[in-house]
Structure 1
Amino acid sequence: MSRFAVKLQCPNPDCLYAENQVGQVTCDRCQSPLTYRYLWAVGRKAAQLAVGTLVDCRYAVVSPQVWLDTQPGLLPEAPVQILDSALPYLRLHSQRLHLPGLFSIHPVGESPIFLLENAPIDATGNLLPLLESAWPAAPAVRQLNWVWQMFQLWQALKPQGVSSSLLVAENLHVEGWRLRLREIVVDASDPVDSIQSEALAHTNPAKARNPLVAMVMGTHADHAPQAAVLEPPESVATLPLTSSFLAARTAPPCLADLANLWQLWAADAHPAIQDSLHQLCGLMRETPETETSMREIAARLNHLLLSEAARLPLQIDLAGATTTGTQRSHNEDACYPLVDGTKSLVPDIPGVGIICDGIGGHEGGEVASQIALRSLQLQLHTWRSELLAQPEPLPPTVIAEQLAGIVRVVNNLIAAQNDLQGREQRQRMGTTLVMAVQPPQTISTAPKGNTHELYLVHVGDSRAYWLTADRCQLLTVDDDVASREVRAGRCLYSQVYAQPNAAALTQALGTREADQISITVQRFVLDEDGILLLCSDGLSDNNLVEQFWASATRPVLQDQLTLKTALQEWIALANRQNGHDNASIVLMHCRLSDAPHLFDPNGKASLTKRSDAATADADLTESAKALLYDDETGTTQPPKAAVLPKQNPAPQKSFDGWLVGLGTAALMFLLGALGYAIWRELAPTRFQPNPTEPAEVQEE
């Protein structure tokens, strides 16, 4: 059948009109936005299906191995069992920024086809550019950024036995700064009995005759195999590669194989990094893959990356606001910074954005989010001051440990408050967290400049997005039941996400002790202009960011809209579409240029009363204020029994005394003998998350 004869079903469950023409934006019947879900098909039969084929009256083959789901409003058929070869896709769910996910397993005789979502396919169904095609024209900092991501992924993929995924040039795509893999390739020393591919022989006979060259050379036709670098293996075992054209040796891949691929690209690298990249590849080939050698390689590569990044100036503008929403009477969210400012415990903290979404009811969640926000401000202010005194940048692992340690202090403050109030199980208050930190580190380059690092700290389901003129990229993975079940290998994400409790949180700050909380810390290096959007689920629910990002992003990047006006538009969108919930938003505009703005980036725009974060304290209930403030007489009233079920009413400290006590407690973790000794002297095992699966956290 013809591709243009395919009809698309409306995803609206109340409509499901199935006669929309491919190419339309909205449904003919209900005007709902149409969903174009393009899937990458992996399997022996996938490459053999002709374009125009309609599989199971649902999936249209629009190009080789690219299938369009014509019924995006319906769940895919659940597999009878999850094959062992599918487990790496599930266990690596937390790497969705770079890896595809398993949408469905489609049976075709005895050779099933894996249908992958989140594959490197654009909105029109075309594959994103290959890394090797984008490499020669990329600036040095971006080339090193891609290499750094590959090195980090190598350490994540190797324990799962799929590091071969990084050794195939035709499996590596890019979306701007971001490295994306087309599929996962299993490291196998013996022939596998599932998803074996014959596409190599059918698609590229020349590469089929030299599988090792296919693995390391990719599509570099102008390079000849170098015997000194690539020695043919004694035997070759076929892998489940499909379009990757990979054939593996009997031995698992090693770091030298990754160095061989980089060595080929080094010839086309930017002249400023060619020699350094060659030297790094030599070190990787000569050094055994040990923990010590990996740290040394990471340190060298990181120094190269930060040195190149620091050559451009970095400007960061921040704006944030919170809104109660149209259907709630109180606000459990808290954020920093605030558009018009509020009375703060510490001076402004440059390069920091924080979103906290409280849980535990209107007399608990708002308290937890405020405790978290104020403790983070106190600790980060001191942390940044000490970081400024460092002569050279600290390694990313050290920064990540320090930020995670700060968050653990916050967690224990909220947990102690829960214990004091006698809160148990689902009565315990807590808060989600998404925090962006641009550390003030510099590197001794000419001229000396900021290292452009950006750290994201994440717990719960508040999110971070990277927005540019042509891309919207979700950077975080929710800590919810759906993600937990997928990582455990029990089900596909497309199946569990439809369950009623799929979005229930599995962890939040303050609900349990710090050693039972898994804190995600990601490090990025900014190499392009863009806007980092942090938000609570009051904005991200119903995919609002993915639908409406462009109209509030492009004008800001083109200096046609102030950051505050864009923030106002986001707040209005959240109130209009998701008004049932509180919403908090922080925008971080990152510019890699010393050119001045055409106008004041904050402009003269002001938000409405409810979206103005200066009224955040007014949204607190009286019982919540009893934990954070005093009344006009200087004493607080005894909290209600619903707030403190096991605590007898007793005189409480004044606001000033309570606040000073909280500030002192937080600062004691960072000053004097209890300062950085927390991260440097305590046993690392102290901070490891509990291996047991956490119970669900009820979100109000």
Structure 2
Amino acid sequence: MAEPEEVEVRMNDTDMLTIGAFARACRLSPKALRLYDELELLRPARVDPDTGYRYYAVAQLERARLVAWLRRLGMPLARIREVCAMPPTAAAEEIRAYWADVEAQTAVRRDLAAFLVAHLSSPSRKDTTMLELRYSAHSDPGRVRPANQDTAYAGTRLLAVADGFGPAGAPASGAAVEALRFLDTEEVPAGNVLNLLEEAVRGATEAVRDVADADETGTTLTALLWTGSQLALVHIGDSRAYLLREGGLFQITHDHSVVQSLIDEGRLTPEEAGAHPQRTLLLKALTTGAPDLKLHDAHRGDRYLLCSDGLTAVVSEHRIRELLTAHPSPEEAVQALVDAANEAGGPDNVSCVVADVV
């Protein structure tokens, strides 16, 4: 209930403040205090049963000020609740860890901003010297799965990774990639590349339906089609494509998964997503949704990575960037990435395609 304007008075009880007085003392608004009461983060010491007025003990000021400071840091309320429940030394370590995460995320956003500025500021590429790809692909069953349901392919024009699932997962991923392979030998007109790729994906979808004899069978698909100066991207599912440019690693696909939708809605953090029980559930696969299609300008020195979630589920993006940077040839980089996934337990099939723009 809304509370009327209050006068800063003390109750008969010792060391008790009205909500207005307490708000001014701890630099939190009465509205914020009501919210923290509802969330059981900062409960009033007493609520008048007749008027509903909230009263706070002076001893609660220290906790209230800590909450106010942590909110100024931008810490989520759920994490503030955890910090407030810790002894001071553990709380200090948690705040240090939180701020390290903030600085890391800020660095990533800074790099992304620099990439976007450079990308959007680049002049027309009509007169740019034609470039070509140097590439390598490898698919590995991992250390746990009895069979490999991934398919990876790399050619002069086409790069692709598909991650099959269900009873006929391997034939499904193979059929999807095989249906695109004709693009590797066709001259691709730059102005019509997205339409050509979209038509090819429709053929891949039908090919998967032909081999998928159960509703539980399907495949992801992430592919890049090279025109000589641009790459057309098609993506559906939770396999990924990354761009390594000038030392920065950028994910250029968006996962079509349950946990990614929860992250997008703010209901889950990326750190929590790795342990979520529904982390493998897809919202879209090749036969159950429309893929993303987009066009990327390529720069000399760019390195592209396509991979199944057998890599990204167990190897951090920081480590992926290190391995892509450390190994000069695509063959070495692919092998290092697959080895890293297997060294982390290899719980899933892992497929990687690395291509350099040269």
Normalising by structure 2, what TM-score? 0.65
Deviation at 1:179, TM superposition (A): 7.3
One-letter amino acid of the structure 1 residue matched with residue 319 of structure 2: F
User: Partner of 2:319 in structure 1?
Assistant: 548
Q: Evaluate the alpha carbon distance shift between residue 499 and residue 569 of structure 1 in structure 2; reply closer, same or farther with a 3 A threshold.
A: closer
Q: Evaluate the alpha carbon distance shift between residue 535 and residue 578 of structure 1 in structure 2; reply closer, same or farther with a 3 A threshold.
A: farther
Unaligned runs of 5+ in 1: 1-44, 46-53, 62-66, 78-116, 130-172, 181-261, 263-268, 271-303, 338-348, 440-449, 592-700
Q: Does 1:521 align with 2:268?
A: no
Deviation at 1:175, TM superposition (A): 2.0
Q: Evaluate the alpha carbon distance shift between residue 381 and residue 576 of structure 1 in structure 2; reply closer, same or farther with a 3 A threshold.
A: same
Q: Does 1:475 align with 2:242?
A: no
How far apart in 1 are the matches of 2:311 and 2:284?
20
Q: Secondary structure at the match of 2:146?
A: coil
Deviation at 1:328, TM superposition (A): 2.1
Deviation at 1:402, TM superposition (A): 2.4
Higher strand share: 2
Q: Which of 128, 151, 154 is equivalent to 2:110?
A: 128
User: Partner of 1:175 in structure 2?
Assistant: 114
Q: How does 1:576-587 map to 2 (within 5 A)?
A: 576-587=343-354
Q: Does 1:404 align with 2:198?
A: yes
User: Partner of 2:151 in structure 1?
Assistant: 334
Q: Evaluate the alpha carbon distance shift between residue 76 and residue 505 of structure 1 in structure 2; reply closer, same or farther with a 3 A threshold.
A: farther
How far apart in 1 are the matches of 2:105 and 2:130?
31
One-letter amino acid of the structure 2 residue matched with residue 318 of structure 1: Y
User: Partner of 1:598 in structure 2?
Assistant: none
Deviation per residue, 1:383-432 (Å, 9 max, x gap) = x33x3xx5xx41xxx432321221121111221333xx4x2x33xx2111
How far apart in 2 are the matches of 1:538 and 1:306?
36
Q: Does 1:352 align with 2:158?
A: yes
One-letter amino acid of the structure 2 residue matched with residue 326 of structure 1: R
How far apart in 2 are the matches of 1:76 and 1:529?
44
User: Partner of 2:218 in structure 1?
Assistant: 430
How far apart in 2 are the matches of 1:58 and 1:537?
38
Equivalent residues of 2:131, 2:300 under 8 A apart:
no
User: Partner of 1:536 in structure 2?
Assistant: 308
Q: How does 1:219-618 map to 2 (within 5 A)?
A: 305-307=124-126, 310-337=127-154, 349-361=155-167, 364-378=168-182, 380-381=183-184, 384-385=186-187, 387=188, 393-394=190-191, 398-418=192-212, 421=213, 423=214, 425-426=215-216, 429-439=217-227, 450=228, 452-484=229-261, 492-494=267-269, 497=273, 499-510=276-287, 512=288, 517-542=289-314, 544-556=315-327, 561-591=328-358
One-letter amino acid of the structure 1 residue matched with residue 235 of structure 2: H
Q: Secondary structure at the match of 1:56?
A: helix
Unaligned runs of 5+ in 2: 1-31, 33-64, 82-101
Q: How many residues align?
A: 274
How far apart in 2 are the matches of 1:59 and 1:578?
37
Deviation at 1:454, TM superposition (A): 1.2
Deviation at 1:434, TM superposition (A): 0.7
User: Partner of 1:56 in structure 2?
Assistant: 67
Q: Name the Cα RMSD after superposition.
A: 3.6
Deviation at 1:537, TM superposition (A): 0.4
Q: Evaluate the alpha carbon distance shift between residue 56 and residue 571 of structure 1 in structure 2; reply closer, same or farther with a 3 A threshold.
A: same
Deviation per residue, 1:60-104 (Å, 9 max, x gap) = 86xxxxx475x99x7677xxxxxxxxxxxxxxxxxxxxxxxxxxx
Deviation per residue, 1:583-642 (Å, 9 max, x gap) = 000001113xxxxxxxxxxxxxxxxxxxxxxxxxxxxxxxxxxxxxxxxxxxxxxxxxxx
One-letter amino acid of the structure 1 residue matched with residue 137 of structure 2: G
Normalising by structure 1, what TM-score? 0.35
Deviation at 1:549, TM superposition (A): 2.7
User: Partner of 2:88 in structure 1?
Assistant: none
How far apart in 1 are the matches of 2:219 and 2:148?
13
Equivalent residues of 1:539, 1:583 under 8 A apart:
yes
Using CA pairs under 8 Å that are at least 6 residues apart, name the structure with larger relative contact order, 1 or 2. Answer: 2
How far apart in 1 are the matches of 2:283 and 2:244?
28
One-letter amino acid of the structure 2 residue matched with residue 437 of structure 1: L
One-letter amino acid of the structure 2 residue matched with residue 538 of structure 1: G
Q: Evaluate the alpha carbon distance shift between residue 76 and residue 555 of structure 1 in structure 2; reply closer, same or farther with a 3 A threshold.
A: same
Q: Secondary structure at the match of 1:128?
A: helix
How far apart in 2 are the matches of 1:58 and 1:435?
46
How far apart in 1 are the matches of 2:203 and 2:139?
24
Higher helix share: 2
Deviation per residue, 1:11-69 (Å, 9 max, x gap) = xxxxxxxxxxxxxxxxxxxxxxxxxxxxxxxxxx9xxxxxxxx86288486xxxxx475
Q: Evaluate the alpha carbon distance shift between residue 538 and residue 531 of structure 1 in structure 2; reply closer, same or farther with a 3 A threshold.
A: same
Q: Evaluate the alpha carbon distance shift between residue 506 and residue 453 of structure 1 in structure 2; reply closer, same or farther with a 3 A threshold.
A: same
Q: Evaluate the alpha carbon distance shift between residue 550 and residue 502 of structure 1 in structure 2; reply closer, same or farther with a 3 A threshold.
A: closer
Q: Secondary structure at the match of 1:478?
A: coil
Q: Secondary structure at the match of 2:107?
A: coil
Q: Evaluate the alpha carbon distance shift between residue 457 and residue 507 of structure 1 in structure 2; reply closer, same or farther with a 3 A threshold.
A: same
